[in-house]
Structure 1
Amino acid sequence: MNVFSSLFCSCGIQFVPPVLSRLLSLPRSVPDKASHIRRPRKRPRRAPYGRPMAVHRRAAGRARAKRADRGTGKQPKSKESYACHRSWTMAQVKSKNTTLEMVVRKAAHAFGLRFRLHCADLPGKPDLVFPRWRTAVFVNGCFWHSHRNCERARIPRTNVDYWTKKLRRNMRRDQESVKLLKKSGWRCAVIWECQAKDTAKLDRILRRLFASMPLR
């Protein structure tokens, strides 16, 4: 047997069939493993679609992406872009989804009332609209809409002419929108800031408005 093994080696034969290797008691040659490994196919990278993802808030050392306004789709302005600090302060005043509105919504929802919000097809865009009772409710701030005989409805001491004209325009706009709603057959009600902050007053107003319906 040693003679046959020396013959194969002298001829330069590296691969020996399994049958002969068993007969000749020679070690079975193993092919190179690297040539038999299946490598994954490289897929081409596709271009990203849509807008880039927002950076996570807690990502350290990265710029935080500013979210666009849902209503207008515009990016919020930075504080430095305004002409003065007063104009920036005025821009922070919200016209929708204010704290007072959320209080009135929770109280109405607790009574079992269902409503729509900020209907653009109605004059003045009422804050709460109850279509079943043809009732429109405005939640007004005492200062911005000049609530009579209220401590909050005071004209600032600085720039009196500007504030007087602005608040009068707000009052005229409110009166016109109420007139148009009443002509269309809608009931109108105004819940003021001082009334919304008092839970007992707010409950009485809602019960008076919807007295025909058994509230919770």
Structure 2
Amino acid sequence: MDSVDAITRSRIMRAVRQRDTGPELAIRRELHRQGLRYRLHSPSLPGRPDIVFVNARVAVFVHGCFWHRHLNCRLASTPKTRQEFWLSKFAANIERDERNKDLLIGSEWEPVFVWQCEIQDDLPGAVRRIVEVVRRRTAAVG
């Protein structure tokens, strides 16, 4: 890969948002509309969940299908160039996600994973799933 390609790729990768993405904002707007209040990107929890319901102990991750490798998803393509690099990166992401999930469960938190394609295809269904978990957990605590 020549240096121009590396510089271009680096610029593109820096532009990829890690928080406040379109899918995340869509979920947050709908949850707020449902009357639920939450915290964002809690640094004290494994994986820094995108949305956190402290009282219910629910951690919501809004996963991009490409980066987190949503199985059999149209958005989880693999780049044609530098495949070894990408496959290694994706494997590390999957391993990290699994480790964070296990740590949350071990701390009596319930992780909820919402996929980018799920939000695009059925936002109300994705929100309903989160709301059901939060209400169930809140009822169990209170």
TM-score by length of 2: 0.87
Aligned residues: 133
Equivalent residue runs for 1:66-145 within 5 Å: 84-145=7-68
- TM-align CA RMSD: 1.8
1:149-174, CA deviations, whole angstroms, 9 ceiling, x for partnerless residues?
A: 11111211111101100111100010
Q: Is the CA contact (8 Å cut-off) linking 2:49 and 2:59 kept in structure 1? A: yes
Q: Partners in 1 of 2:99 and 2:59 — Cα distance?
A: 14
Equivalent residue, structure 2, for 1:157: 80
Supply the AA of the counterpart residue of 1:183: G
Give % identity: 38
SS in 1 for 2:48: coil
Following superposition, the deviation at residue 200 of structure 1 comes to 3.0
**Structure 1 residue runs of 4 or more that deviate by more than 6 Å after TM superposition:** none
Equivalent residue, structure 1, for 2:130: 206
Query: Runs of 5+ in structure 1 lacking a partner?
Result: 1-81
Structure having the higher strand fraction is: 2
Query: Runs of 5+ in structure 2 lacking a partner?
Result: none
Following superposition, the deviation at residue 83 of structure 1 comes to 5.2
Q: Partners in 1 of 2:109 and 2:128 — Cα distance?
A: 21
SS in 2 for 1:166: helix
Q: Partners in 1 of 2:60 and 2:90 — Cα distance?
A: 20
Q: Partners in 2 of 1:141 and 1:99 — Cα distance?
A: 10
Task: Specify which structure has the bigger relative contact order, considering alpha-carbon pairs within 8 angstroms and separated by 6 or more residues.
Answer: 2
1:103-155, CA deviations, whole angstroms, 9 ceiling, x for partnerless residues?
A: 11011111111100001011110000001111000001000000011111121
Rg larger in structure: 1
Q: Partners in 2 of 1:162 and 1:127 — Cα distance?
A: 26
